[in-house]
Amino acid sequence: MSADLPTVAPEVWTWLAIGAVALTTFLTRCSFILLGDRVRLPPIVDQALRCAPAGILAAIVIPDLLLTHGKLHLAVDNFRLMAALVASGYFVLTRSMLGTILVGMAAFLLLRWGIG
Amino acid sequence: MDSPSTFQSAESGTAFREGWRDFLGVTPGVAAWGLVTGVAMVQSGLTVLQAAGFSILAFAGSAQLATAPLMATGVPVWVIFLTALAVNLRFVIYSALVRDDLRAEPWRRRLLLGYLTSDMGFALYVRRLRRDPEWPQRAAYFAGLAYANVAVWHGSTLLGVLAASWFPREWGLELAGTLALLALWIPLCAKRSGQVGSAVAVIVGVAAYHWPLRLGLLAAILAGSLAAVATERLQARSAQVSR
């Protein structure tokens, strides 16, 4: 993987990546300010931007929870998955971000130190 | 072109402070989010300086949480860029909605305030405007929300970044960041398009997990988005037909 990269310190690549992410923040949040008054958001695009985030976030969050070392691990000893399920249940009941994080981490740490 | 700002009057000062106070009311949730993001970034492999710099420059919690693990494992910058772009896409809508309200401000302030848009700040802004959609001081109110957000976010993120170094990486505390993203995702599954999009994203994400350069992640993002949009449009079409 690093064979085709030029011989630059890894640190530089990290800062480049940070800059890239900052650029996406700027481009998206300032998009319509930059585009000026005459550009309007077509309803189709608006609709797409509204319902896409569900799929996007699922792609980012879920597969990592279901897999351990690259293999599907749908078992009680997948502590991260178990903690996520507990946290999800809590969130559905309370809608509290703070509580969800605390409950989920408590479940995770209890499982890890109690059993694992 | 510089236009006269609405920020010069006494009323705008009041509106600014109201925005500031309203945002501080939701500090616990935002501070938890910031703390968790700080911890998760460092536990994913970023140094304290990188994590702090990342937070200040990017100012986008979910994008930071999604891409920090990618940075530590040497994923190419263009993949990270596209992933962050996908996560931040929802802000394009916010930008479209806020643009008109900021129109009276000088362009530098418009860009700054736009940059400081956030999910929570925007939600509070919309709620306040429902009472008074034509409020002349709404730009100042927006600014009050934005600046309070900066204070709470950077304070808590920095705390998280510093505290993270006390905990060994084997503890796996970056799970907290995942849980925070989970809390963002769950409400989006109330709609059928969210459910279908998520299911497709997970299937593709698991199947393509071993692709190089984390391209499986991008494929899952793309597949999930397309599936969600397709579901939404099919539903709209069948609703029209049955009328």
Q: Could you say which DSSP state residue B102 is in? A: T
Alpha-helix residue ranges (DSSP H) falling in chain B = 10-24, 27-43, 48-58, 61-72, 77-88, 90-99, 107-115, 119-131, 138-164, 175-185, 192-207, 215-241
- Residue B193, CB-side half-sphere exposure with 13 Å CA sphere: 20
For chain A, say whether B230 makes contact (Cβ under 8 Å): no
ipTM of the prediction: 0.83
Alpha carbon distance A20, B60 (integer Å): 12
Question: Which residue stretches of B1-60 are H helix?
Answer: 10-24, 27-43, 48-58
Distance between CA atoms of B207 and B226, rounded to whole angstroms?
17
Tell me, rounded to whole angstroms, the distance of Cα B64 from its chain centroid. 9
Instruction: Identify the CA nearest to B184 among candidates A109, A30, A25, A100.
Output: A100
Tokens 């960041």 appear where? Answer: B177
Residues 58-87 of A with CB under 8 A from B: 58-67, 70, 72, 80, 83-84, 87
From the candidates A56, A78, A90, which should be mutated to test the interface with B, based on the most B CB atoms within 10 A? A56
Question: How confident is the prediction along chain B (243 residues), in pLDDT tens digits per residue?
Answer: 344 466 777 788 899 999 999 998 888 778 888 998 999 899 888 999 999 999 999 999 989 999 998 998 889 999 999 999 998 988 888 888 888 888 888 888 889 999 999 888 888 888 888 888 888 889 999 999 999 999 999 999 999 999 987 887 777 777 888 888 898 889 889 989 999 999 999 999 999 999 987 888 889 999 998 999 999 889 888 888 776
